[in-house]
Structures are given as C-alpha cells and as structure tokens.
Copies of this chain bind each other. A is one copy, B any other.
Amino acid sequence: MSDVDFTPVHPEPLLIVISGPSGVGKDAVIQHMKERHLDFHFVITLASRLPRPGEVDGVDYFFVTKEQFEAMVQADEFLEYAWVYGEYKGIPKSQVRQAVASGKDIVMRLDVQGAATIRKICPQALSIFLTVEKEEDLVSHLYKRKSETPEVLKVRIETARQELRQVKEFDYFVINRENQIDNTVEIIMAIIRAEHQRTQPRRVSL
C-alpha cells in the first residue's frame, strides 16, 4: 500500500460569527446553541450596561461600567469594540486567547458593525447573517422589547433597516422566523457541519 496522506480529515476549528440587525433574535439563537450544542467555545461579549431581565453576568454578557470599559480600551485589551445605541460592546482579547486554546469551534455573537471589524481582522471567519422574512417582522420585534426608551428604539429601527441591506457582506444568511428558533439553529448547524467538509478549509488566525 502507498502511505500518501490523501484524506483531508482535518477538523480545523472555525471562527463562527453570528450577526444580524438589532431585534432579529441573536441572543435567543445563541442561547439555544448553548443549550443544545456543547461542542463550541462561546465568546462572551463585554457590555457597558446593566443586565436586562433574565440576563446573567458571565453567561449572556460580562456587564461592566462605562468607566471600566474605557479603562480596558486604554489598555488595548479589545479585539474589537464599538459604541452602539448608547453603550459599549466589545470582545476582549483574553476571551479570544481562551477560545483558540480550547481547540473548539469558536462562536462570536456580534452586531453588524462588529462583524465587519472581525471580517477585516480575520477574513477566514465564517460569517452568518440572521435576518427576517419581511422588514416589518423586525420592527415589530423591536417594538415588543420594552427595555428601551422611545429615542433608543427609533435609532435601533433605523439602524436595523440599514443593516438588513448588508447581508451580502456575509457568507451565509439564515431567516429567523417567529417561533421557529429550532429550525434556525438546525440550519446554522448544517452550515457549520458543511464548512467542516470543505476541501479547502478556512484557516483561522487571530
């Protein structure tokens, strides 16, 4: 027998960016992925705000004050960060180092602005854009969210409309239909599974 290594059995870890406009359901999708698929390393975002009802510090986000966040920015501790809707959100480099060390596929939840930054830093990232079937679906999601002031809500709706048009910048889109989150997660899992079968794997470097 020849001993040439011909089979590309090479489970390169992927850097998976789950993004989409405000109100599309990113948090719920990530929550479902966490509950059902333990084989990922989920990167936890830092946010300079208080938890919303049901959110747990260190699980959904790390919550810090604006001052703490700015001190970390000064110390160059972020892979990416942004000021959006009156709060900072960012991914600390320490989180990413942990993720890479895990050897697992890395999942990052990012708003559309953050996703654009990560694509620049790491063009080999696998980017998935969560979207809606009709623009009205998104607006009604945002209205239902009671935690925001009318001013913030107005900004979010306008931003979300703009962001929906950026879908083509991503590798894949998935429509997150009302009450069909299981289906959304299944499609995301199919995408990830397929990506591991590429003969030309994405080689992530961070």
Contact = CB atoms under 8 A, between A and B. Distances in A.
Interface of A: 1-2, 4, 6-9, 129, 131-136, 139, 161, 164-165, 167-175, 187, 189-191, 193-195, 197-200
A164 B175 CA distance: 37
B175 A9 contact: yes
Nearest to A189: B190
A178 B169 CA distance: 40
A50 to B, nearest CB: 32
Number of copies: 2
Contact of A4 (B131, B136, B165, B189): B165
B161 A129 contact: no
Contacts of A195: 194
Given A4-B165, A132-B7, A135-B6, A199 B175 contact: no
| A164, A174, A193 pick with most chain B CB within 10 angstroms | A193
A18 to B, nearest CB: 13
A8 B174 CA distance: 10
A167 B7 contact: yes
Contacts of A199: 129, 167-173
Most buried by B among A7, A133, A197: A197
Nearest to A135: B1
B1 A167 contact: no
B135 A2 contact: yes
